[in-house]
Structure 1
Amino acid sequence: MIDSHRKTFDPNNLNDVIDLWLNEIQLHKSDDPNSFRNPDNMVGQILALFLAGTDTTSNTLKWASQYLVRYPKVQDRIHREIDTVVGRNRLPKLADKPILPYTEAVIAELHRIISLVPLSVFHVAAAKTTFRGYTFPKNSVVISNLYAVMHSPELWGDPEEFRPERFLDDDGNFHEPKEVIPFGIGHRVCLGEALARQQLFIFFTHLLHQFKFEKTSENVPMPKLKPIDGLVLHPEPYKLRVTKRD
């Protein structure tokens, strides 16, 4: 992709982030050789955009479809809420977010239970650091076990149960505890968190506004909801039927 951009590069017609990178490298090629404006960093950032900005959201939606099939009452309740608040004449928008509390609760419960990036992104201590009696030498690798927090029996009581209602108060208002940390913790949380939350909300609500997710037939077993281990927890392949809603 980068090579194809090089062939058509025009500094007077910058179309996307790759063009912007190529332009920055061209403008600063005689500067400090240690500058971050170099081809290696360009490749790294483009790769990060694809992996962090695409793979995570698409896999969350794959998980969502499987949970919706396994929990049809949850899906029905989302349909009712969206139909009541948004109606059938338009698609949901970000402004609807505060008035779709159950839908928000389902998304929060999905984040919690799937723990998509269970160990977050590894970090390095920039200097010798002492925290709660433990000393971390400079350059030691720090791993955040997000999965352990979001599956703690002490925090959640029934962490293996998919129960969106845990994020609704007695009046039906949505609240998300600080222990829901799918984007990491500390000052170095995922820098795309705000965009990812908005993007996921739009994709999720548009899909639920337009479609119903079901098993392909009664004889097909329910999804196992068992992840394929990795840096990102992918769901096992599963066939389902997607039906257009009236």
Structure 2
Amino acid sequence: MIESHRKNFDTDNLNDLIDLWLNEIRLHKSDADGPNSFRNPDNMAGQMLLLFLGGTDPTSNTLRWGSQYLVRYPKVQDRIHREIDTVVGRNRLPKLDDKLNLPYTQAVIEELHRIISLFPLAAFHVAGDTTTFRGYTIPKNSVVISNLYAVMHSPEIWGDPEEFRPERFLDDKGNCRGTDEVIPFGIGRRMCLGEALATQELFIFFTHLLHQFKFEKTSEDAPMPTLKPIDGVVTHPEKYKLRAIKRD
């Protein structure tokens, strides 16, 4: 893709991020190869790869997890269907403007983020300077790891962290309330830059799928999903076959 952009590069028509990056390299050619410059082809290729991975893997894995949880918790799925049908109807697909009017659906997505803890240790960071935090000295250049899983599964915060209970995010009026302890995209100033895009992307895909389909086991005798994670940098669900039944 980068090579194709180079061949068709036009300074008067910068169409996307690759064009903008190529233009930065052109404008700052003198330091493009410097060891500390972001304006170099290798860095550009690496960042494009991260954008593709970050824009596909988290959303697809959350949807895989979500479909298995909905099979395991059919009453949750039924309630989502009722809410979407009431607010959106059957004649169009959900859109971002519907989000505030779909509080239970939002609560389910929040609970999915919390319970699956997709990036349990987030991205590793490095301390820019020596600092002291709660009595601990963190030397400069130390690798700092955020244990997101511990926060999103803390009994002190949630009471019953291993229970899938979307209602925990609904207030007395039935509105979805956010909480500082749901941190699937990391914390601090160096949290995931794609949070806003990923949040919107997940909402659209999730609501479109639930608007159009009902998820069930392949047969009455089929086992339920185990919901056991495959641990790694990203927690993947185990492979599971299910039925996606078209809704009227």
TM-score (norm 1): 0.94
Instruction: Give the Å deviation of 1:33.
Output: 3.4
Q: Deviations over 1:184-241 (max 9, x none)?
A: 1112111111111111111111111111111111121111111111111111111111
Q: Which runs of 5+ in 1 are unaligned?
A: none
Instruction: Give the Å deviation of 1:32.
Output: 5.4
State, as a whole percentage, how many aligned pairs show the same letter: 80
Structure 2 residue corresponding to 1:118, chosen from 114, 120, 124: 120
Contact 2:25 2:32 in 1 (8 A): no
Tell me the equivalent position of 1:61: 63
Tell me the equivalent position of 1:79: 81
Tell me the equivalent position of 2:129: 127
Contact 1:9 1:19 in 2 (8 A): no
* Matches for 1:8-19 after TM superposition, within 5 Å: 8-11=7-10, 13-19=13-19
* Matches for 1:89-104 after TM superposition, within 5 Å: 89-104=91-106
Q: Which runs of 5+ in 2 are unaligned?
A: none
Q: Distance in 2 between the 1:126 and 1:49 partners? A: 24
Counterpart amino acid of residue 41 in structure 1: N
Tell me the equivalent position of 1:138: 140
Tell me the equivalent position of 1:230: 232
Q: Distance in 2 between the 1:31 and 1:231 partners? A: 34
CA spacing shift, 1:238–1:110, aligned 2, 3 Å: same
Tell me the equivalent position of 1:47: 49
Contact 1:68 1:74 in 2 (8 A): yes
Q: Deviations over 1:13-37 (max 9, x none)?
A: 5444333333432443234532311
Bigger mean CA offset, 184-193 vs 31-40: 31-40
Q: Deviations over 1:34-74 (max 9, x none)?
A: 23110111012111101212111111111111111111110
Counterpart amino acid of residue 136 in structure 2: Y
User: SS state of the match for residue 221, structure 1?
Assistant: coil
User: SS state of the match for residue 238, structure 1?
Assistant: coil
* Matches for 1:6-45 after TM superposition, within 5 Å: 6=6, 8-11=7-10, 13-31=13-31, 33-34=33-34, 35-45=37-47
Q: Distance in 1 between the 2:223 and 2:192 partners? A: 36
* Matches for 1:205-216 after TM superposition, within 5 Å: 205-216=207-218
Q: Distance in 1 between the 2:19 and 2:129 partners? A: 36
Q: Distance in 1 between the 2:2 and 2:235 partners? A: 28
Instruction: Give the Å deviation of 1:172.
Output: 1.2
Q: Deviations over 1:123-181 (max 9, x none)?
A: 11000111111110000011000001101111111111100011112221111221111
Please report the RMSD computed on the Cα atoms of aligned residues, expressed in angstroms. Answer: 1.5
TM-score (norm 2): 0.93
Counterpart amino acid of residue 104 in structure 1: Q
| Off by >6 Å, runs of 4+ in structure 1 | none
